[in-house]
Amino acid sequence: MVPKAPSSLDRTTRPPGPLVIAIDGVTKLYVMGDETIHALRGVSLQIRRNEYLAIMGPSGSGKSTLMNMLGCLDTPSAGRYEFAGENVKAMTDDELADIRNREIGFVFQTFNLLPRSDALRNVELPLIYAGMPSGERESRARRALEDVGLGHRMHHKPAELSGGQRQRVAIARALVNHPSIILADEPTGNLDSQTGVEIMALFEQLYQRGNTLIVVTHEEDIARHARRIVRLRDGLIESDAAI
Amino acid sequence: MKRLAHELLESFRIAFAQLRAHKMRSLLTALGVIIGIVAVTMMGTAINGMNVKFNESLAMLGSDVLYVQKWPWSDVEDWWNYVNRPPIRPEMAARLNRIIQDTPNSLLQVAVPVMSHPQTVKRAGKEVDGVYTAGTTSDFRYILATDFEAGRYFTETEADDGRPVCILGNDVAHALFPGRDAIGQTVNIKDHPFRVIGVFVHQGDFLGLFSMDNQALVPLDAYRKYIGANDQTELRVKVRDKNRMTDAMGELRGAMRRVRGQLIGTRDNFTINQQEAFKKFLDPVELGISVAGLTVTSLALFVGCIGIMNILFVSVKERTKEIGTRKALGARRRTILLQFLIEACSVSLLGGVMGLTLTWGLSRLIALAVPTLPIQVPFLLVVIGFVVSIIAGVLSGIVPAWSASRLDPVEALRYE
């Protein structure tokens, strides 16, 4: 199943579900030597289940910091962050690891696949950390790979796959534990434009199947696939609008 | 708990994949451990061999035999207190035996006189120098700690009549009668013919000092008549119960003083020696060799550990981004810690297994080359070798693994 590029006609917007992410007045400071950098200066944002959101902004706008925050890789310096009603700021490192494992599927610009493991093993990884028995793990990983159209490439190592295929393995890995949100950081940044289009078509399918997507990008073309665009500048939200 | 099991399994898979992916690097790192383990276990094997040899030698003395002599076996500084002691005479054995028989519930069984001096044993055209030649009574069979390869011990008649018969140590018999039966043949000691009636089995040497196979035994009266009437004499006394050695020594001391006619308040003019004395003398030497040897060889192992630590730091650095990815996907600190610890242990265990195999091979080679050395890798040492390898892995892996587990996922993901 190779996804086709979406025609501009099948752009239905699905009704948003309950609140997943609620951040309120979040700031983030980095101390670098004598300098204090205000990466985020008070950001408030609410994201509901089944939304398709793009976060945009030039470099230095704080979008990476916001993404790390949303992905529970980092915690705010001040302000509130609730993920599905839980206070993220108060969590320990291990609790953050667990919430990333259960609730968040990451898609990276550089794919971040383990080079010596085949596609199937890469996809199984989050399930290993979830403590799932191997039989169930393998069937779940197989299904996830089939869902992204890679049923015939399960035992290929990343080096034996094309860029687009690698990113689809990474997407399968993000999906395999049925997370609440999928967080993609410049998912087409390392791909040629044709492959980029294919990946965005796959995202559209995932959205239509009921997933919640957050795409961080600086490309207007990519952001336009989403249903809502949040623009950041100098650590503040400049605009937040549906399209 | 189930999760931990999955993580452990995953860690072993990763460690194995790492070893396979970096074969040369893993082998070189393991080499340090191999050298360390070989050094430590070879030293352990040598110490064990020394121990075995030592105990074998002590067994030759007989663990239940006391030696009444003029001089003690240990070094003495006040030699003037010993040199003027009256000599010990063979007749004292008979008097001692009478006292033993008259003592109810005596702890002593029998006293045997042994006169001895090195002699040359000859036979038509062949001769063996420096043979420990001893004259003794038929009672000596009670304290004999060895078996016969051929022949027998002398009878009471032969002993009482002082017949010129002899029993030869294994080496003496084979040197004089190569490939032939020595029994019934005649040898010359001090130019007097003795008929060979027995040959002892091969016994080996005593602490490398003298060979137990280089001896000849003749009846006491024959010794006095044909070899030397005034040679030095010792009394060997067999004890009934070797668990009551101290009490037996006390009884023997009292009996000997009566034999010697010593007055109350005078110092003993004899010494009772026993194998314990050797043990007391040699144990600290053995301990010293063990401690020094193991300390030096442990340094080799320590260097091996530093090698693992070093390579593991490199590995953590190289895989920073992978660690970040794993953390993003839900790996806890413990998971990352275990992963690198198990990797370190795999390398050290690989080194340990190869090292132990090498030690085993080497000891087999040495045993083949020098069969008299009691070289044998004790099983306990193999177990210790494995345990030490694992401990070495944990110790050298703990710091790099800890630093990996503490990595900030954001920075680790950004690392190129």
What pLDDT, in 10s, does the model give residues B330-345? 999 999 999 999 999 9
- pLDDT for position A146: 95
The answer to whether B261 contacts chain A (CB < 8 Å) is: no
Measured CA to CA, the distance from residue A93 to residue A101 in angstroms comes to 12
Which runs of consecutive H residues, i.e. helices, occur in B177-274? 220-222, 245-260
Measured CA to CA, the distance from residue B334 to residue B332 in angstroms comes to 5
Chain position carrying tokens 């995932």? A206
Highest-confidence segment of A5-19, A162-176, B147-161: A162-176
User: B313 and B370 in contact (C-beta within 8 Å)?
Assistant: no
The answer to whether A91 contacts chain B (CB < 8 Å) is: no
Non-local (6+) Cβ contacts of B408 within 8 A are none
Q: Decide if pLDDT at A1 tops 70.
A: no
Measured CA to CA, the distance from residue A95 to residue B365 in angstroms comes to 58
User: Using one digit for the tens of pLDDT, what is the confidence trace for B343-389?
Assistant: 999 999 999 999 999 999 998 898 888 877 777 778 888 898 889 89
Q: Decide if pLDDT at B75 tops 80.
A: no
Instruction: Please report which helix (H) or strand (E) contains residue A151, including its range.
Output: none
Separation of CA A151 from chain center: 22
Residue of B nearest to A99 (CA): B330
The angle formed by the CA atoms of residues A225, A228 and A230, to the nearest 5 degrees, is: 110
Q: Do A108 and B333 touch (CB under 8 A)?
A: no
- pLDDT for position A8: 46
User: B71 and B82 in contact (C-beta within 8 Å)?
Assistant: yes
The answer to whether A34 contacts chain B (CB < 8 Å) is: no
| CA-based nearest residue to B415, from B317, B270, B344 | B317
Please provide the average confidence, as pLDDT, over all residues in chain A. Answer: 91
How much is the ipTM here? 0.93
Which of B1, B9, B329, B338 has the most A C-beta neighbours within 10 Å, making it the best mutation to test the interface with A?
Answer: B329
Q: Do B330 and A131 touch (CB under 8 A)?
A: no
Please provide the average confidence, as pLDDT, over all residues in chain B. Answer: 89
- pLDDT for position A122: 95
- pLDDT for position B77: 81
Q: Do B21 and A114 touch (CB under 8 A)?
A: no
Q: Tell me B62's DSSP state.
A: -
User: Using one digit for the tens of pLDDT, what is the confidence trace for B196-246?
Assistant: 999 999 887 776 677 888 999 999 999 999 998 888 899 999 999 888 888
- pLDDT for position B323: 95
Alpha-carbon separation of residue A211 from A19, A204, B38 (angstroms): 14, 10, 59
Q: Which residues of A touch B333 (CB under 8 A)?
A: 93-94, 97
Q: What does the pLDDT average to over A84-97?
A: 93
Q: What does the pLDDT average to over A67-87?
A: 93
Q: Decide if pLDDT at B286 tops 50.
A: yes
- pLDDT for position A9: 44
Q: Which of A93, A126, A129 sits opposite B333 (nearest CB)?
A: A93
User: Using one digit for the tens of pLDDT, what is the confidence trace for B130-189?
Assistant: 899 999 998 898 888 788 899 999 888 998 898 999 999 999 999 999 888 889 999 999
Q: What does the pLDDT average to over A116-142?
A: 93
Higher pLDDT residue, A30 or B2?
A30
Q: Decide if pLDDT at A107 tops 60.
A: yes
